[in-house]
């Protein structure tokens, strides 16, 4: 029988968008399948042993991890928009508009994944790299290649990362070396991939296929219609695409689809918008489109790093407006190559920075985001966007244990006596006057992967 996990210490998570819960002296246990079987808060240290006995814990089958003062558990991060093949091109092509960046940098890079040996190497690095940074769930766009995308699915499954995995559909407006020859070819490869992923993980314990029309510019009507049909036939299949990312992209899209005046109506027409859809960017929204999002229950992948690096203009998605409209199905995306960072911590900080700019740009109308709101988007909000909040995103009995152990200092000192302990990495040091809230804020604003000491997915250690 596998060893189950027992932790005692501080856990930090969101149960709603408004505030982060910091639970001290908390006992958390996992059982079969990495499911959380007990979560007891406010257990005084002198009652710990008694409590463990009462829970029927026999020490032979359990390892107790007692966290020190400068350590805490958080839910694993959810990256709701990630281009796995762009792992190796992050940082390139700055200053280019989105469509030029795709043509000059990205398509050439993604074309390399025609070679499955290259794909295996690069995807192994990418998946390990994301796990190392605490990304326990990712919604991946692979390249357009079916075989390489199967390899990505195998690697996620083997390395233990929870993932939605789709191959890009693109049968037009792409270079001759990186385009599918017909809608039929693209749809057939998509069906094959869906079958292959379902065979790899029949109980959907970790990985799941996702329909991935790259964006309407790269898809013919026939292809979009065929994908809408697949979404209709399999009502468990999620869908992802890029949405209202940049004005140049919107203008090009509407010129290709003259029957539509906005992207919501376009993607809806093809049956691609529902409560399983993840829409990346959503920078330029009309009130009509925001209302439609709400009615349809679409999830939003906010990619603040990419939105302020690729595109040739400053584009702050209207997150505060979404929240004011009661839309909270919002997560964060690294966007991998579109941004420059593969860190959800960076995405949280950039979400915060961009929201400050938005507050200025709207004359104070759109209040900036709080640290708590950014943390929600990085965890529970992202889980909602990926349709996984019944399993992950926060800690609760019955959910699966996807978590990061955050370690802020070299040692935990003794109680409150130690002062200015040696920080791990470049994180703001912890001092005697700190409390769990200030330690948490210091981590969110200045920590990095060096502070993510251990990572678990479904109760299994992946770092």
Q: Which residue ranges make up the site for Fe ion (CB under 5 A)?
A: 335, 338
Task: Select the binding partner of residue 215 from ligand GUN, Fe ion, none (C-beta < 5 to 8 A, by kind).
Answer: ligand GUN
Rounded distance between C-alpha atoms, residue 249 and residue 12, angstroms = 39
Answer for which of 171, 263, 335, 389 binds ligand GUN (CB under 6 A) is 335
- Write down the least CB distance from residue 81 to Fe ion, Å: 6
Examine residue 302 and tell whether it contacts ligand GUN (CB under 6 A). Answer: no
- How many amino acids of this chain bind ligand GUN (CB under 6 A)? 12
Site for ligand GUN in 371-400 (CB under 6 A): none
- Write down the least CB distance from residue 266 to ligand GUN, Å: 15
Helix (H, G, I), strand (E, B) or coil at 20: strand
DSSP state of 61: G
Examine residue 208 and tell whether it contacts ligand GUN (CB under 6 A). Answer: no
User: How many Cα atoms occupy the beta-carbon half-sphere of 234 within 13 Å?
Assistant: 16
Instruction: Please give the torsion angle defined by the CA atoms of residues 372, 374, 377 and 378, in that order, rounded to the nearest 10 degrees.
Output: -100
Rounded distance between C-alpha atoms, residue 157 and residue 209, angstroms = 12
Site for ligand GUN in 106-135 (CB under 6 A): 106
- Write down the least CB distance from residue 187 to Fe ion, Å: 22
Cα Rg of the chain (Å, integer) = 22
- Write down the least CB distance from residue 102 to ligand GUN, Å: 6
**Whole-number Cα distances in Å, 96 to 250, 288, 336, 351, 459:** 16, 30, 16, 21, 42
Taken as a whole, the chain contains a residue count of 463
Instruction: Output the residue with the shortest Cβ distance to ligand GUN.
Output: 338
Q: Cα 41 to the chain's mean position, in Å?
A: 28
Answer for which of 310, 351, 404, 405 binds ligand GUN (CB under 6 A) is 310
Examine residue 338 and tell whether it contacts ligand GUN (CB under 6 A). Answer: yes
Which CB atom, from 246 or from 444, has the smaller least distance to ligand GUN? 246
**Whole-number Cα distances in Å, 150 to 11, 154, 188, 450:** 36, 6, 14, 31
Which CB atom, from 127 or from 279, has the smaller least distance to Fe ion? 279
Answer for which of 77, 87, 140, 215 binds ligand GUN (CB under 6 A) is 215
Rounded distance between C-alpha atoms, residue 46 and residue 335, angstroms = 47
Residues 326-351 as b/e (b if ≥16 CB within 10 A, e otherwise) read: ebbbbbbbbbbbbbbbbbbbbbbbbb
Site for ligand GUN in 50-109 (CB under 6 A): 83, 98, 102, 106
Please, are residues 462 and 456 in contact by the beta-carbon 8 Å criterion? yes
Which CB atom, from 7 or from 87, has the smaller least distance to ligand GUN? 87
Task: Select the binding partner of residue 272 from Fe ion, ligand GUN, none (C-beta < 5 to 8 A, by kind).
Answer: none
Rounded distance between C-alpha atoms, residue 332 and residue 342, angstroms = 11
Answer for which of 17, 138, 306, 351 binds ligand GUN (CB under 6 A) is 306
Q: Between 225 and 254, how does the x/- string for binding to ligand GUN read (CB under 6 A)?
A: -----------------x--x---------
Which CB atom, from 106 or from 268, has the smaller least distance to ligand GUN? 106
Interface contacts to ligand GUN, rule CB under 6 A: 83, 98, 102, 106, 214-215, 242, 245, 306, 310, 335, 338
């Amino acid at each position: 029988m596998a060893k189950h996990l027992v932790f005692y210490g501080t856990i930090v998570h969101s149960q709603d968008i408004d505030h982060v819960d910091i639970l001290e002296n908390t006992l958390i246990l996992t059982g079969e399948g990495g499911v959380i079987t007990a979560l007891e808060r406010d257990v005084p240290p002198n009652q710990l042993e008694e409590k463990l006995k009462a829970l029927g814990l026999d020490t032979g089958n359990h390892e107790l991890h007692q966290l020190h003062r400068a350590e805490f558990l958080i839910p694993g991060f959810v990256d709701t928009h990630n281009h796995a093949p762009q792992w190796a091109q992050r940082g390139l092509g700055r200053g280019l508009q989105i469509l030029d960046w795709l043509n000059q940098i990205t398509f050439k890079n993604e074309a390399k994944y025609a070679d499955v040996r290259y794909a295996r190497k690069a995807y192994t690095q990418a998946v390990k790299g994301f796990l190392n940074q605490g990304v326990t769930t990712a919604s991946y766009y692979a390249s357009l290649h079916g075989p390489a995308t199967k390899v990505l699915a195998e690697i996620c499954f083997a390395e233990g990362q929870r993932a939605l995995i789709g191959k890009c559909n693109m049968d037009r407006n792409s270079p001759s070396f990186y385009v599918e020859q017909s809608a039929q070819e693209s749809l057939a490869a998509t069906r094959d991939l869906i079958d292959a992923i379902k065979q790899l993980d029949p109980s959907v314990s970790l990985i799941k296929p996702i329909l991935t029309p790259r964006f309407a510019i790269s898809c013919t009507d026939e292809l979009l219609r065929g994908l809408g049909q697949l979404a209709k036939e399999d009502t468990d299949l999620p869908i992802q695409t890029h949405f209202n990312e940049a004005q140049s992209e919107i203008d090009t899209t509407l010129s290709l689809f003259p029957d539509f005046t906005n992207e919501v109506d376009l993607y809806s027409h093809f049956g691609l918008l529902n409560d399983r859809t993840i829409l990346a960017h959503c920078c330029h929204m009309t009130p009509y489109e925001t209302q439609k999002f709400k009615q349809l229950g679409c999830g939003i992948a906010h990619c603040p790093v990419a939105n302020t690096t690729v595109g040739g203009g400053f584009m702050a998605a209207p997150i505060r407006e979404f929240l004011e409209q009661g839309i909270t199905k919002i997560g964060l995306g690294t966007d991998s190559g579109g941004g420059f960072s593969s860190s959800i911590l960076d995405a949280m900080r950039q979400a915060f920075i961009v929201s400050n700019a938005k507050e200025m740009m709207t004359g104070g109308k759109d209040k900036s985001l709080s640290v708590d709101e950014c943390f929600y988007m990085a965890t529970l909000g992202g889980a909602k966007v990926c349709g996984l909040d019944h399993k992950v995103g926060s800690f609760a009995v019955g959910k699966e244990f996807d978590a990061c152990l955050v370690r802020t200092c070299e040692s935990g000192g003794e109680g409150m006596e130690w002062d200015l302990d040696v920080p791990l990495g470049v994180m703001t040091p912890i001092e005697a006057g700190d409390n769990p809230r200030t330690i948490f804020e210091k981590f969110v604003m200045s920590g990095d992967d060096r502070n993510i000491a251990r990572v678990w997915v479904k109760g299994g250690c992946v770092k």
